[in-house]
Structure 1
């Protein structure tokens, strides 16, 4: 931005007057956005008595707690209009894709930018299914499924040294040349292919069943259902309605722009780690589990009115309603409900679902929820496929990888313009940018060390360690005498 300057009316700029100094600055507006770093040029002398930690003379910082209005990159993948309830993958409305496409085709679209031809899709599908088999050693112990998936995904990286930048060079995925992209795509095949295998493995381990090798000849979701449910029956084929329903759910959850998990992948990926480490970090599945727990606590449809009143009084928490982005309705929720209806035609309904229906209808008619724009989101309905261990992690791997690969595609474009003068580029045009948010420090200013005997105790629940109740053996051991036992010292 340079020196203070004003710009004439009508230009695509933002004029900012600093009333501390009287200077006016002109900040460029590009795609209805401004660069936060431009504010660093707005500087002022430190005021008398002002904290040095404010760093006033180094330029303004932008405070945006929770990234409520901060764009961290330029993306071509997913567009969301929360006010209008719009979700599009690469420009295609989610409603059209759910009706006409399938998960693997949509995955190709998200990652590579266009819908594949018949031959392109066949190669893509065959590679993913070929890479669905995992090493037998990846079978895990009994734990929560998400914990199993997190550790198993990270563990995959130990099998593929060619995918580790620490071993192959930090520019492994940032060169922008054909070998770099080929290495990247091979990891994409592996991660998408093995995601369902690992999820099925976690489910079967929890059930005390043997792990099932991925079958041949089935679809992506058909293979997933087979691996979860096959118990040795001959010519076992999953139900086509359930297979299609799960495919639609996977498609709906493949990406959701810069949500917490995608941002985590890019945050970790900006340090140039292997993709298995990047993808293992943001796994989560608590939202739909919270809905199930809430419905179980309600119990029956006739208990819904009392629960609604308890929510209004802030005595109960309503899960599955409202959204950080969608301010009207989540477009995916309507598709999920329609899909669930198709499933329940063959499986039948249960009391949990009837309770969900009653809660949904009651909330949608109540002014309390209408005025607060608390419509059901996708988490409210996606619990409702009985018998399926559905987790957002399996389809969301696609979105994470799409953003990860897009980062390097930006590198390709940059490298083409500069004739490959630089090979250390990542995320966006302009070079390696490790995601390192700034902070506004409001803690203690500089202070000197105080000897132990001169200190005044600081009390308060946030300022002292919490006490822990120990078992009887710990108490007895603390009272005992034995060799090596010493008094605690600082």
Structure 2
């Protein structure tokens, strides 16, 4: 008997039982190339659908990217089982304690902590690129006073690209950012600097107050609070340094979190080589959704609805019976405590010292304690996440609930830019184009109008097709 040589350990052998074909796929970084499965081609059998594309091999079907790595990255690492987060190798706890937001942004984007001189130049440049073009301010100022701040933020960045034609690959050449690092860095600085100004301007629109010019002699978060709160003509106002520092720590914690929805959007849109302002607008639109950037707002509404500590047991029972939703617990990645939530809980006390204790905090603490003692939530690994505490801090600081996503978006701009830059420099140069499984109708022939059966809902009184949401009763009467 001849012994067969075992395949190398770092491979995966797959046998296609339809054809008997076997392929061996290298395992690199505990992952395999999805394109390797294209080698497993088959001939459709009787009854098989041609639309299943047998000739081009097996596709990997993964709705919502539950187990698909779309990129390889050097930026952020998360260990969801241990509740661990680090940026460029630095644990988030150390950055929150020792760094500041602008330094962390530099680390995310350029890969290393800046030297003393680099830090001075970086902070000087960002804080001197905070002004917005006058015409852009007019666009923002013409927004409705009751506009959602994220609508203003998205619109402002979409418009901002029109004020930077030198930053547009559609005008300057598709390889602009690959060939011209000066332009790349200049626009990174512009975007980070202006993000806080756009955020403050959206707040001023809400308050129906004139815009306040930025100050370059303040820290990043101090300047943002100043632009929100200063009164025109008043001299000498400076925000409370405790609040500015607390917001700075929160910005560090929100700066990046790997391939979440908005960051994946930034990389996806950026793969078309569009200008970074348009890509930022797209990423902000993804963050706008209530399943992403609106989660901390949902936490506040939930705790307000509970109201008092004595109502917590019934609320948790309603969660178990699916009559209520529990916001701020659990995470798509973390299967343990979100490390950011521990830091935020400590920051909360600093904020309460400055502005007074938030009344809802007692309900929040009692809800957390009750949930962490309940086997139902423990078995499902539902622990408080970053949104659970951050909303309480923002509320205590006096921010409106619908402003919470803005406070998420401003720091996340740094992470978006880090991934955008990395994708351009280290990607394969191809536009992102996911595959799909087509499960619709097979090929069929066009039917003339008189040959089609009436399948739509028909209003029995008028005998005409009803398209709910489209026709009013007044317009229906004319049909």
Please say whether Structure 1 and Structure 2 have the same fold, judged by a TM-score greater than 0.5.
yes
Residue aligning to 2:269: 268
Work out the CA distance in 2 between the residues paired with 1:115 and 1:468. Answer: 54
2:296 to 268, 271, 288: 288
The DSSP-based 3-state class of the residue aligned with 1:40 is helix
Shift of 1:162: 0.2
Residue aligning to 1:161: 165
Q: Which moved more, 1:318-327 or 1:230-239?
A: 230-239
The DSSP-based 3-state class of the residue aligned with 1:325 is coil
Work out the CA distance in 2 between the residues paired with 1:302 and 1:44. Answer: 63
Q: Structure 2 matches for 1:258-407, cutoff 5 A?
A: 258-283=259-284, 284=288, 285-385=293-393, 386=396, 387-388=398-399, 389-390=403-404, 391-407=407-423
Q: Which moved more, 1:131-140 or 1:447-456?
A: 447-456
Q: Contact 1:7 / 1:15 at 8 angstroms: preserved in 2?
A: no
Structure 1 residues 344 and 270: alpha-carbon distance in aligned structure 2, compared to 1, 3 A threshold: same
Structure 1 residues 346 and 109: alpha-carbon distance in aligned structure 2, compared to 1, 3 A threshold: same
Q: Contact 1:270 / 1:435 at 8 angstroms: preserved in 2?
A: yes
Residue aligning to 1:216: 216
Runs of 4 or more above 6 Å deviation: none
Aligned Cα root-mean-square deviation (Å): 2.0
Shift of 1:465: 7.0
1:447 aligns with 2:444: yes
Q: Contact 1:15 / 1:24 at 8 angstroms: preserved in 2?
A: yes
Q: Which moved more, 1:230-239 or 1:394-403?
A: 230-239
Shift of 1:478: 6.1
Shift of 1:300: 2.5
Aligned residues: 448
Residue aligning to 1:13: 11
Residue aligning to 1:3: none
Structure 1 residues 469 and 75: alpha-carbon distance in aligned structure 2, compared to 1, 3 A threshold: closer
- Please list every run of 5 or more consecutive structure 2 residues that lacks an aligned counterpart in the other structure: 459-464
Per-residue CA deviation, residues 313-333 of structure 1 (Å, 9 max, x unaligned), is: 111111111100001111000
Q: Contact 2:243 / 2:354 at 8 angstroms: preserved in 1?
A: no
2:35 to 29, 34, 37: 37
The DSSP-based 3-state class of the residue aligned with 2:315 is helix
Q: Contact 1:300 / 1:351 at 8 angstroms: preserved in 2?
A: no
Residue aligning to 2:461: none
Residue aligning to 1:420: none
Shift of 1:169: 1.0
Q: Structure 2 matches for 1:124-139, cutoff 5 A?
A: 124-139=122-137
Work out the CA distance in 1 between the residues paired with 2:82 and 2:17. Answer: 38
Work out the CA distance in 1 between the residues paired with 2:476 and 2:323. Answer: 43
Q: Contact 2:266 / 2:280 at 8 angstroms: preserved in 1?
A: yes
The DSSP-based 3-state class of the residue aligned with 2:6 is coil
Q: Contact 1:102 / 1:247 at 8 angstroms: preserved in 2?
A: yes
Q: Contact 2:456 / 2:466 at 8 angstroms: preserved in 1?
A: no
1:52 to 50, 53, 69: 50
Residue aligning to 1:204: 204
The DSSP-based 3-state class of the residue aligned with 2:19 is coil
Structure 1 residues 16 and 212: alpha-carbon distance in aligned structure 2, compared to 1, 3 A threshold: same
Shift of 1:296: 2.0
Work out the CA distance in 1 between the residues paired with 2:172 and 2:5. Answer: 49
Work out the CA distance in 2 between the residues paired with 1:353 and 1:465. Answer: 49
TM-score by length of 2: 0.90
Structure 1 residues 467 and 335: alpha-carbon distance in aligned structure 2, compared to 1, 3 A threshold: same
Q: Contact 2:167 / 2:275 at 8 angstroms: preserved in 1?
A: yes
The DSSP-based 3-state class of the residue aligned with 2:413 is helix
Work out the CA distance in 2 between the residues paired with 1:131 and 1:469. Answer: 46
Per-residue CA deviation, residues 414-457 of structure 1 (Å, 9 max, x unaligned), is: xxxxxxxxxxxxxx1x4x21111000111111112223333233
Q: Contact 2:309 / 2:363 at 8 angstroms: preserved in 1?
A: yes
Q: Contact 2:12 / 2:26 at 8 angstroms: preserved in 1?
A: yes
The DSSP-based 3-state class of the residue aligned with 1:394 is helix
1:189 aligns with 2:189: yes
Residue aligning to 1:416: none
More helix by share: 2
Work out the CA distance in 2 between the residues paired with 1:197 and 1:341. Answer: 27
The DSSP-based 3-state class of the residue aligned with 1:87 is strand
Work out the CA distance in 2 between the residues paired with 1:357 and 1:451. Answer: 65
Work out the CA distance in 2 between the residues paired with 1:183 and 1:86. Answer: 35
1:408 aligns with 2:424: yes
Q: Contact 2:80 / 2:333 at 8 angstroms: preserved in 1?
A: yes
Shift of 1:28: 1.6
Work out the CA distance in 1 between the residues paired with 2:62 and 2:245. Answer: 41
Q: Contact 1:80 / 1:87 at 8 angstroms: preserved in 2?
A: yes
Structure 1 residues 478 and 47: alpha-carbon distance in aligned structure 2, compared to 1, 3 A threshold: closer
TM-score by length of 1: 0.88
Q: Contact 1:7 / 1:26 at 8 angstroms: preserved in 2?
A: no
Shift of 1:56: 1.2
1:24 to 22, 25, 36: 22
Residue aligning to 2:62: 64
Q: Contact 1:79 / 1:89 at 8 angstroms: preserved in 2?
A: yes
Work out the CA distance in 2 between the residues paired with 1:7 and 1:195. Answer: 59
Shift of 1:258: 0.6
